[in-house]
Amino acid sequence: MTAGEVTVGEPSLPNGPPLPVLLQSFLFGKYRHRYIPLLRRRYGDIFTIRMAPHNRTIVQLTRPEDIKRVFTGSPDVFHAGEGNAVLEPIMGNRSVLLLDGGEHMRVRQLLMPAFNGAALRGYGNMIAEITRAQVATWPVGSAFAVQKYTQRLTLEIILQVVFGVTDEQRLAELRPVVAGVVDLNIVTMIGWYYKPLRRVWPWRRFAQLRSRLDELIYAEIAERRLATDLGRRTDVLSTLLSVSPQESLTDAELRDNLITLLLAGHETTATALAWALHDLARNDAVQRRAQQAADEGDTHYLEAVAKEAMRLHPVIYEVVRKLKQPVEIGGHLLAAGVSVMPGVGVVQSDPANFPHPEEFDPTRFIDSQPAANTWIPFGGGVRRCIGAGFSLVEAAAVLQEVLGRFDVVAERQRPEPAASRNITLAPSRGSRIVLKRR
């Protein structure tokens, strides 16, 4: 029986905590990296939680075989768009992350040429140039929270490489607005669905920021549509506008997907880089090997460093699919309307999947490859993140520039715990390091 087949019988749900929905939502939103492992110890490999908004029933999956059922199942049965509905206030309802079925495939196919192998090779020089300029401004010899600097760097890469904005005045307008929108936390996202809250802080401020960001993005789209040199431009927006009018995305679709690329490619990559530098600062042997790779241009090893940081410190702790038909998973017949949540963080820290999972060891991605559905920071199946390749190219370029110039030292040897930041998990102190010239 495949994951897409409809089964008959009496629907059942795994056990789960009997806590009130709002309390479960708070615990998940703020402490999911502690809450979910605790529930797994209490209830086993599959369990049920309930979440706001709309009192959603969510079944958490932590075994690779159950996660495989989701990723290989029919996208007509496992709706990722509906599962990501909490992101709609910020990304919009035309985002590739929130669409399902034929509309999702149409938008995804229009976006894909901007992220294929040839396109990624074309972005390399732009990313390297921006990275060199940015890293040259980082503090040397004194402790600082590197995540703030990786955020500035990845934002600059997104604005210039994805949006194609190079005018300094336009960049100066975009930077603070984008930073404000990115600071949206999960509680504010969920609260947006309760309309009376929109009249009060911080939801009123979010509405203002979103409106201003829309103005700037629509102005950029309108101006770019009039450009006569689209064929010579290499940024993502120009690539998307270079197709025939019959195939092109509408302005509203462009807006939602540019914001999706901005948020998915800015915050997540910046946080993954902060975690990578956090771990390199605490492992001299791995850092020396990574510096050798930087000197030799060995991007394969540098990508392995980034992959291992993503494994050990999952920036996104889970992905979600909403069932449109009953499906049997893990010995339970789950009814239509239930959401299933493959646990990225849990499966990547399971010693059954990664021996000594607490150790930072990039050779896991050099000597062999992880088993299927055990390393899933970009999701899986037909909904795998289209920007995965871009993210790894970007991470390797940044690590090469930083490690080619500096030794990275931890301010404190004790590791920083993860803390919830909107939908991501980041170093609690911003990954405080000291850079020393080699």
Q: pLDDT, tens digit, for every residue of 315-351?
A: 999 999 999 999 999 999 999 999 999 999 999 999 9
What's the mean pLDDT when you consider all of the chain? 91
Rounded Cα gap, residues 47 and 338, in angstroms: 12
What number is the average pLDDT over the span 251-265?
89
pLDDT tier at 187, thresholds 50, 70, 90 = low
Which helix (H) or strand (E) is 301 found in, with range? helix 299-312
Helices assigned H by DSSP within 112-248: 117-135, 146-157, 168-182, 186-191, 203-225, 236-241
Rounded Cα gap, residues 277 and 181, in angstroms: 25
What number is the average pLDDT over the span 19-28?
94
What number is the average pLDDT over the span 70-98?
90
Rounded Cα gap, residues 307 and 130, in angstroms: 22
Rounded Cα gap, residues 131 and 402, in angstroms: 9
Long-range pairs, 244-251, Cβ under 8 A, ≥24: 247/110, 248/110, 249/107, 249/110, 250/94, 251/218, 251/221, 251/222
Residue 131 contacts residue 152 (beta carbons within 8 Å):
no
Which domains are delineated in the chain? 21-437 (1.10.630.10)
For 367-402, the pLDDT digits (tens) are 889 999 999 999 999 999 999 999 999 999 999 999
Cβ neighbour number for residue 208 with a 10 Å cutoff:
12
For 347-363, the pLDDT digits (tens) are 999 999 999 999 999 99
Q: What pLDDT was estimated at residue 246?
A: 66
What number is the average pLDDT over the span 265-289?
96
On the question of pLDDT at 194 being above 90, the answer is no
Nearest to 303, CA basis, from 276, 263, 266, 275: 276
On the question of pLDDT at 4 being above 50, the answer is no
For 116-136, the pLDDT digits (tens) are 888 888 888 889 999 999 999
Residue 428 contacts residue 419 (beta carbons within 8 Å):
yes
Number of H helices, E strands in the chain: 16, 12
pLDDT tier at 1, thresholds 50, 70, 90 = very low
Q: Give 4 or 81, the one with higher predicted confidence.
A: 81
Token code pair at residue 416: 């920083």
pLDDT tier at 3, thresholds 50, 70, 90 = very low
Nearest to 223, CA basis, from 162, 164, 279: 164
By three-state DSSP, how is residue 337 classified? coil
